[in-house]
Amino acid sequence: MNRYILFLSLFLVVTFVSCDSPQNPLAYVKETHGRGKAMIYVEESFKPLFETSISTFESLNPKADITAKYLPEGKIIKAFFDGQVKTITITRDFTKAEKKYLKSKNVEVSSDRIALDAVALIVNPDNSDTTISIPRLRQILTDKNSVWPTSKQAISVVFDQMNSANFNYITDMLQTNKLSSNVFAAKSNEEVINYVKNNKNAIGIIGLNWISNQEDFEVLNFLAGIHVMDVKLTEESESFKPISGLIYTREYPLIRDVWMINKGSRSGLNSGFANFMMGEKGQIIIHKSELVPANNPVRLIQISPK
């Protein structure tokens, strides 16, 4: 009997220890903020930021496995309401009507603004026209006969995808849904960049995150073949580039929020990753990506001439 009890005790100890082993698939059974498996949907505009963020989070939490799917904003919102995903990143919070609907379905949702971002307008480096106003942009998007002031060549405009965050932001801001035939969609922000590199009469509309982090070798490759336009609110006003300080002060006209929306348990991996993005380490990653972190805003330093 004593031998049996001793054997059983040793068996239980070995079993308890092995369940915590990284090689044991049962290690993922108990999901915590830093352990388990999670799927998140992210607006394609923020792919560079979230690839870095997920990699960092997983390095800090070796038993965490996060898979991101990068989609246009419209598809992401639909997937959330269809119950296909618990955590999403888009450029807006849900409306009161959307939250009311979710509440009627007993769905608990938490929304966190994690950053301030911008939409960037890019042109080919051979294009001499590098500044644009918001009224001029509206006219280009709605008038198929628009031409560049210097070259007099017809202008083409390329988005990433219809119903993407970039597309929705520009059309909502300009209050127009009737676009001219010179406006078309590629399949991604990367394809927009490549199109502009090869077409000197094009304007590309992309998420700033794709070209903001100049410590990234791939970003430097992108920047080598494009020029980021200066944008002004009116024809008479001053123009600005989409850099973090001018996004923070809202002097650059084309700015937007970045939201993480999560439903379900507050104790699981999905919530853990959302907390990470809102916490110090996630906000530092956002800052290094040259976006504006929501919780640790840009520190502005004014230098006075002597």
Domain ranges of the chain: 21-116+257-293, 117-255
Do residues 54 and 62 lie in contact, with contact meaning Cβ atoms separated by under 8 Å? no
- SS3 assignment, position 187: coil
User: In which band, very low, low, confident or very high, does the pLDDT at 31 lie, cut at 50, 70 and 90?
Assistant: low
Q: What angle do CA 132, 294, 273 make, to 5 degrees?
A: 120
Encode pLDDT of 102-153 as tens digits: 999 999 899 999 999 999 999 999 999 999 999 999 999 998 889 999 999 9
pLDDT of residue 224: 85
Strands 109-123 and 227-228: antiparallel
Mean pLDDT value of segment 218-238: 88
> In the predicted model, is pLDDT for residue 51 greater than 80?
yes
pLDDT of residue 216: 67
Mean pLDDT value of segment 66-84: 97
- SS3 assignment, position 119: strand
In whole angstroms, give the CA distance from residue 138 to residue 229.
Answer: 15
Find the Cα–Cα–Cα–Cα dihedral 48, 53, 56, 59, rounded to 10°.
-110
CATH class of 21-116+257-293: alpha beta
Q: In the beta sheet, which residues pair with residue 183? A: 157
Mean pLDDT value of segment 56-69: 97
pLDDT of residue 177: 72
User: In which band, very low, low, confident or very high, does the pLDDT at 33 lie, cut at 50, 70 and 90?
Assistant: confident
- SS3 assignment, position 281: helix
In whole angstroms, give the CA distance from residue 189 to residue 229.
Answer: 16
CATH class of 117-255: alpha beta
* 21-116+257-293 shares its CATH topology with 117-255: yes
Q: Is 210 left (phi over 0), alpha (psi -120 to 50) or beta?
A: alpha
Encode pLDDT of 241-275 as tens digits: 999 999 999 999 999 999 999 997 677 899 999 99
* pTM confidence score: 0.84
pLDDT of residue 217: 62
